[in-house]
């Protein structure tokens, strides 16, 4: 099986993929992930190679078993088409979406860019997706698939800010029986007015509404482009209003991070690492013992993942760095975490969560 995996060297694949524009490359990769379950021998070989399962990393969260703490961040699998392929890449869970009530094309192309010198990606996709009905069709195909799934939800671009709550209500109703947690996305920079919803009134309103519809754990995903004080206030408001957790952070619109940036869209990847960590650290200090925290943004190594865990993260997510390093990164992070935990005398990941503040 090792030989089977070696045939698919990611460096070889990356050279091929990087010959295409980023969105075309994503479509090609997506096609491969969609057909992978039809080749169970290959899928099994990949999973045997990449998936790390160890009692040290296993956690029971949201009433589900997470066999390792490294998940796929939202935005890669916008329509829930690659769910069954994700364990073969080594991920312990996946987050699908962002899904909106109605299908939408997103922003005009080109809208996805590689910042290769910075090991980063800039996107202005704009919640392009096939809508809730298509997503429900994908979820209904899963049957006996036993794997943690988060569903990331957002409003349609054409929905006015004053009617945004209705879009989220429609989505809570649609997905209340699906997945293992739901994420409120009001932090993407690519839908006009969306980040304006990151205010205490809207947070209180949306969590009150969510609680009246679903028993699913509902999390809030926040942007990195706010002060630590504002982030703590917003997250505390969400937790007090019933949030089951916080995901930090989305992409940044701090274009001063690199001379290679466009003046639109959000930046993810290595450029986001420190900005995301610093905001997460502030949130973790305040909330690590009050709610579940998921860290995302420029995580490219076991050491970086461990830094987020010690700052308060129960789970971490990867997206952009997967493009540059491939699924070997997920395996390296998980295997590296086991070593780091044991080196520090921990018998289980739970002992290290928030260790910086204990």
Does 347 appear as a known binding residue? Answer: no
Separation CA 151–CA 78 (nearest Å): 10
Does 221 appear as a known binding residue? Answer: yes
C-alpha distance across the termini of the chain, in Å: 43
Does 156 appear as a known binding residue? Answer: no
The tokens for 145 are 């698939």
Does 265 appear as a known binding residue? Answer: no
Does 74 appear as a known binding residue? Answer: yes
Catalytic member of 188, 268, 295, 314: 188
3-state secondary structure at position 198: coil
Does 130 appear as a known binding residue? Answer: no
Separation CA 218–CA 232 (nearest Å): 18
The tokens for 265 are 């869209």
The tokens for 227 are 């002060």
Query: Which of left, alpha, beta for 179 (phi over 0: left; psi -120 to 50: alpha)?
Result: left
Does 92 appear as a known binding residue? Answer: no
Does 204 appear as a known binding residue? Answer: no
Does 106 appear as a known binding residue? Answer: no
Does 129 appear as a known binding residue? Answer: no
Separation CA 13–CA 32 (nearest Å): 12
Does 80 appear as a known binding residue? Answer: no
Does 298 appear as a known binding residue? Answer: yes
Separation CA 316–CA 337 (nearest Å): 12
Does 48 appear as a known binding residue? Answer: no
188 is catalytic: yes
Torsion of CA 302, 249, 67, 176, to 10 degrees: -170
Does 31 appear as a known binding residue? Answer: no
Q: Where are the strands (E) in 31-157, listed by range?
A: 59-61, 64-66, 70-72, 93-99, 112-115, 120-123, 149-153
- Residues paired with residue 269 on neighbouring β-strands, in sequence order: 120
Does 250 appear as a known binding residue? Answer: yes
Does 126 appear as a known binding residue? Answer: yes
Does 124 appear as a known binding residue? Answer: yes
Separation CA 89–CA 318 (nearest Å): 12
Does 301 appear as a known binding residue? Answer: no
Query: Which of left, alpha, beta for 36 (phi over 0: left; psi -120 to 50: alpha)?
Result: alpha
Question: What DSSP state is assigned to residue 85?
Answer: G
Spatial contact of 271 and 325, defined as CB atoms under 8 Å apart: no
Spatial contact of 315 and 291, defined as CB atoms under 8 Å apart: no
Q: Which residues are annotated as a binding site for FMN?
A: 74-78, 98, 152, 185, 221, 249, 269, 298, 319-320
Give catalytic residue positions.
188
Q: Which residues are annotated as a binding site for substrate?
A: 78, 123-127, 185, 190, 250-251
Q: Which residues are annotated as a binding site?
A: 74-78, 98, 123-127, 152, 185, 190, 221, 249-251, 269, 298, 319-320
């Amino acid at each position: 099986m090792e030989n089977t995996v070696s045939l698919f060297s990611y460096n070889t694949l990356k050279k091929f993929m990087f010959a295409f524009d980023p969105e075309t490359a994503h479509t090609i990769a997506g096609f491969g992930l969609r057909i992978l379950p039809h080749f169970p021998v290959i899928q099994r070989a990949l999973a045997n190679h990449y998936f790390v399962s160890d009692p040290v990393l296993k956690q029971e969260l949201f009433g589900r078993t997470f066999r390792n703490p490294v998940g796929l961040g939202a935005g890669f699998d916008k329509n829930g088409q690659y769910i069954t392929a994700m364990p073969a890449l080594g991920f312990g869970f996946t987050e699908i979406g962002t899904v909106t009530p109605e299908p939408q094309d997103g922003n005009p192309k080109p809208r996805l860019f590689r910042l290769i010198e910075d090991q980063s990606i800039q996107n202005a996709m704009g919640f392009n997706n096939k809508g809730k009905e298509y997503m429900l069709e994908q979820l209904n195909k899963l049957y006996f698939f036993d794997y943690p799934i988060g569903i990331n939800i957002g409003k349609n671009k054409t929905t006015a800010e004053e009617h945004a709550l209705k879009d989220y209500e429609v989505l809570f109703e649609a997905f209340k029986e699906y997945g293992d947690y739901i994420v409120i996305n009001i932090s993407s920079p690519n839908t006009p007015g969306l980040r304006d919803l990151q205010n205490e009134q809207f947070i209180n309103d949306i969590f009150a509404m969510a609680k009246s519809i679903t028993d699913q754990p509902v999390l809030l995903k926040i942007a990195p482009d706010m002060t630590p004080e504002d982030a703590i206030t917003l997250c505390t408001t969400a937790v007090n209003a019933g949030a089951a957790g916080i995901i930090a952070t989305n992409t940044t619109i701090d274009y001063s991070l690199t001379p290679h940036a466009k003046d639109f869209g959000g930046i993810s990847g290595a450029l986001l690492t420190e900005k995301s960590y610093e905001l997460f650290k502030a949130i973790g200090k305040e909330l690590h013992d009050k709610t579940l925290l998921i860290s995302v943004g420029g995580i490219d190594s076991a050491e970086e993942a461990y830094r987020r865990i010690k700052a308060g993260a129960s789970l971490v997510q990867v997206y952009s760095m997967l493009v540059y390093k491939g699924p070997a990164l997920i395996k390296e992070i998980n295997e590296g975490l086991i070593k780091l935990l044991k080196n520090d005398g921990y018998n289980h990941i739970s002992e290290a969560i928030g260790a910086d503040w204990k």
